[in-house]
Amino acid sequence: MTAEPDLGVLLAAACERIVREILGELAAAGYPHLTPSQSLAVLFIGDGLDTVTQLADRLNMTTQAISKICATLSAEGLLERQPNEGDARSRRLTLTPAGAEAVTRMRAAGAAAEQLWTDLVGPETLTTVRNALAAFAYAPTSPTASPIRIRFS
């Protein structure tokens, strides 16, 4: 009798496939060197996060690491740092037109990958999978969970 595939391995493989699709789209758009963390930062800025601290919290990274990522993204012409009228100690992050285009391309690649999933299992099953993943991902962390975070660096 064959054992069922390990859920963690399947989730990691599915995540890797989607990330590869998104990074492939970025490469085709002229950004083959962007890392997954840099790409996620661009997406989250596109979603309205506009400070290094917000990005660090969302990506579970240090503010120093996010500052380096933002410096790279700024040098690449994907984001701008502007004075933050609400907090003189920080800068407000905004996407440039090139950054907004990168977000559009990443979302299209993500939607295409999701459509492949829908074609494989059907929309009802994908909705069930999405709801199950959200329930598990956002449930309180167990007291025995490792403090180590997995990063897409």
- pLDDT tier, 147 (very low <50, low <70, confident <90, very high otherwise): low
Q: Can you tell me the mean pLDDT for 20-29?
A: 88
Domain ranges, ordered by start, for the chain: 10-136
- Domain 10-136 adopts which CATH fold? Arc Repressor Mutant, subunit A (1.10.10)
pLDDT for res 141: 77
Q: Residue 41: pLDDT above 80? A: yes
pLDDT tens digits for range 97-112: 999 999 999 999 989 9
Q: Which spans in the chain are helix H?
A: 7-28, 36-46, 52-59, 63-75, 97-121, 123-137
**Dihedral of CA 93/82/65/96: which sign?**
positive
Is residue 153 scored above 50 in pLDDT? no
